[in-house]
Amino acid sequence: MSNQLPPTTPIQPSNQPPANQPPGQWYGQQPYQATPQAYGNPTYSVPPQSVNATNSWLRWLGFNVLAMILSSVVFAVLFFILAIWLFIDGSQAGGIVDSINTQAGEVGFTIGLFATITGISGLVAGWIQRIGLHNRVSYGPWIFKTGLMTALTTAVSLAIFFFLINPNTSADNYQLINTLFLTASTAAIALATGLGQLSEVKKVSQQPFTWIIISVLTWTSLSGLAWGSFIFSL
């Protein structure tokens, strides 16, 4: 009799898949195949600039200062071009003035001329101010309202000066009166322009009246210093 035991089949644990069978088929699933993952350059997104940031007033202040400086330069250039035209072709300009029979008409022609130049300068100021609002306001309505209110307020201010203030101003306080008037006129223009811009600012900002306050204070203070220094230096 032989002492060797008959060959037996090894016992497979219940929690192990059968031999020669992929593990995925044991659980009723397709075999998992790893796919290579491609790594590219990381992308970065910059959050949009907010008009309602807590420090927006600093940006508004800076761009209002810049707007006043650039618009003043444009006004000076246009005024210089007008003066050159009057010097070179004064006969044509004189003919236009002579065709107006009344003094009020001549003053009205002068007011219209200066209002036009100021309105064009206002367009430049409005363009700069719009950048201060991150270009969030509509371009067309913003520029149109800014230029229109600037020109109309300038015309009204000059009419008040020529017909009411200038005839009643003595030579003793002429410089002071002119400085105060020009400063007040700039404040009126800034206020009227700000009110004209208010409907557009309300669409993008939660503090639209802060925009008006900053605009009026910036333009009034800078114009007072500029006009006062210029007039009293004459």
159-165: Cβ within 8 A, 24+ apart: 159/107, 159/111, 161/185, 162/107, 162/110, 162/111, 163/107
The confidence score (pLDDT) of residue 46 equals: 44
180-208 confidence digits (pLDDT tens): 898 899 999 999 999 999 999 999 998 89
Query: What is the per-residue pLDDT across 126-176, written as a single tens digit (0 to 9) for each?
Result: 999 999 999 999 999 999 999 999 999 999 999 999 888 888 877 778 888
Mind listing the pLDDT tens digit for each residue in 61-93?
999 999 999 999 999 999 999 888 777 765 555
Between helix 90-98 and helix 103-132 the angle, nearest 10°, is 120
191: left (phi over 0), alpha (psi -120 to 50) or beta: alpha
Angle between helices 174-202 and 208-232 (to 10 degrees): 160
Is residue 37 assigned to a domain?
Answer: no
Please report whether residue 16 resides in a domain. Answer: no
Distance between alpha carbon 175 and the CA centroid of its chain, in Å? 34
In a domain, 155, yes or no: yes
Q: What percent of the chain stands above pLDDT 90?
A: 45
Range of 52-61, 118-127, 168-177 with top mean pLDDT? 118-127
227 pLDDT higher than 70: yes
User: Looking at the 3D structure of the chain, how many domains does it have?
Assistant: 1
Q: What is the DSSP string of 9-30?
A: PPPPPTTSPPTTS-HHHHTTSP
Residue 35 covered by a domain: no
Residue 121 lies in a domain: yes
Give domain status of residue 34, yes or no. no
Residue 82 lies inside a defined structural domain of this protein: yes
How many whole angstroms separate alpha carbon 62 and alpha carbon 77? Answer: 23
Type of residue at 194: G
CA distance linking residue 160 with residue 165, whole number of Å: 7
Domain that holds residue 122: 56-232
Residue 110 lies in a domain: yes
Distance between CA atoms of residues 46 and 88, nearest Å = 55
